[in-house]
Amino acid sequence: MMKSEIINRNNFLKQIGFSGAALFAVMCAGGTMSSCQNESGVTPLAGDITLDLTASQYAALLKNGGYVVLSSQNVVVARTNTGTYAAVTLICSHEQQRQITYRTSEFYCTAHGARFDNSGKGLNSEGKKGLTVYQTSVSGNILTIKAS
Ligand code: FES
């Protein structure tokens, strides 16, 4: 399917009254799940992600301000300065670069400097569209990033 066809279908569905989650559901139903993206270009998680915080590759998540990029799932997870966990998409809402990082208690895109708080709210003009955030929970040493 060509990009112009997707845009035309999107605009058509909006014109007949679909919006938000309903529009997203219709768009997903019309394509394959592997190609299903919302309007911000973020692909929904295929399922919950669980991380064993005792594993060496996640050691950065044991200290406040540390973060890990899960590039195959397009997720960035960080331990905030208050010791809670925050997870967001790796894909920036500014120009869809996969360059979200974490620094000084906020998410930051290294492409053009978009800044987002721990809830995904944009903090400057590049970040004004916000970031998709995922719920997290911790049970013992297991951190779960929830798909929905
Ligand atoms: S793509 Fe992230 S700031 Fe431009």
Model pLDDT for residues 96-130, shown as the tens digit of each residue: 999 999 999 999 999 999 999 999 999 999 999 99
What is the phi-psi region of residue 104: left when phi exceeds 0, alpha when psi lies from -120 to 50, beta otherwise? Answer: left
Separation CA 28–CA 49 (nearest Å):
21
Pick the CATH number of 49-145 from 2.102.10.10, 3.40.50.720, 2.70.170.10, 2.40.50.140: 2.102.10.10
**Which residues contact ligand 1 via a Cβ below 6 A?**
92, 94-95, 97, 99, 109, 111-114, 126
Contacts of 20 (CB under 8 A, 6+ apart): none
Model pLDDT for residues 20-65, shown as the tens digit of each residue: 444 344 333 333 344 455 555 677 888 999 999 999 999 999 999 9
Q: Which atom from ligand 1 is nearest to the alpha carbon of 96?
A: 1
Centre of ligand 1 to C-alpha 94, Å, is 5
Centre of ligand 1 to C-alpha 74, Å, is 15
* pTM of the complete model beyond 0.85: no
